[in-house]
Amino acid sequence: MIMQGKRGVVLGIANKKSIAYGIAKACREQGAELAITYLNERFEKKLAPIAKELGCEERLYPCDVSNPEEIITLRKSLEDDFGEIDFIVHSIAFAPKEGLSGHFSDIPKDTFNVAMDISVYSLIELSRELKPILSNNSSILTLSYYGGVKYIPNYNLMGIAKSALEMSVKYLAEDLGRYGVRVNAISAGPIKTLAAAGIGDFSFMLKWNLAHSPIKRNVTIDEVGNSGMYLLSDLSSAVTGEIHYVDGGYNIMGMPAVEFDEDGKPHIAWNGES
């Protein structure tokens, strides 16, 4: 199996609809040994059945990335259980609701700082603090979205955070490459997750992506999970600093694919239907 002998930690699973779950599941199916983390006691209860399914019920650790001490404790727990690890999945992002609506220029500074700390700096801090236990053939993976490259309605502050996250991937890739650590990101198409619930008009985003991606459908958690597993495995041993799009090709489109009726009026085909 592709991930046989690999050991790693997955941060950011909220439930079975999480992209992080899709990645963890794909890695486990290919032979990886996993540890997963939870934010607080409420999530611990939710994740216990998932940890059991993934074969890591004894490696379910607390980790609130806003608390540096919990990251250090996570490193110690991983070192006790695994010695060293071969991969990290960072699937953590947060912005207060006032950062996801209204005028962008009205976003308070405190809101900006929280979003950048949780969504961006946490990747840098985790990479630094867990580096001592990373093998010399390891991989770090985080999750982005197209809103970090282009304007997306209602994405607002999270778009700025994802932009910073993607550049952090590139700088971390150069910084850690000499130690045998690769760093990449997946930019997934819109998927119904707990995080997506906070984005206004998300159902329209799903329809828009479906209509304008070349494959004329939305991607699934399993598809993103398999791509994540590839980037964590030795199959991608020469790939680092990349933003890998798993969005049905939506990111290549420069204009909507508009069709015209007999009267010359435009309309958009939704999954092959008007």
Active-site residue list: 145, 155
Half-sphere exposure of 197 (CA within 13 A, CB side): 6
Q: What are phi and psi of 234, to 5 degrees?
A: -70, -10
Residues in a beta bridge with 134: 85
β-pairing, 7-11 vs 33-38, is parallel
Answer yes or no: are the C-beta atoms of 184 and 236 closer than 8 Å.
yes
Structure tokens at 80: 């006790």
Structure tokens at 78: 């991983």
Give the relative orientation of helices 19-29 and 221-232 as an angle to the nearest 10 degrees: 60
- SS3 sequence of 99-144: HCCCCHHHCCHHHHHHHHHHHHHHHHHHHHHHHHHEEEEEEEEEEE
Answer yes or no: are the C-beta atoms of 26 and 232 closer than 8 Å.
no
Instruction: Count CB atoms within 10 A of the CB of residue 61.
Output: 20
Which single residue is written with the structure tokens 């699937």?
Answer: 91
CA 143 – CA 154 distance, rounded (Å): 19
CA distance to 22, 191, 253, per residue, from 257 (Å):
30, 21, 8
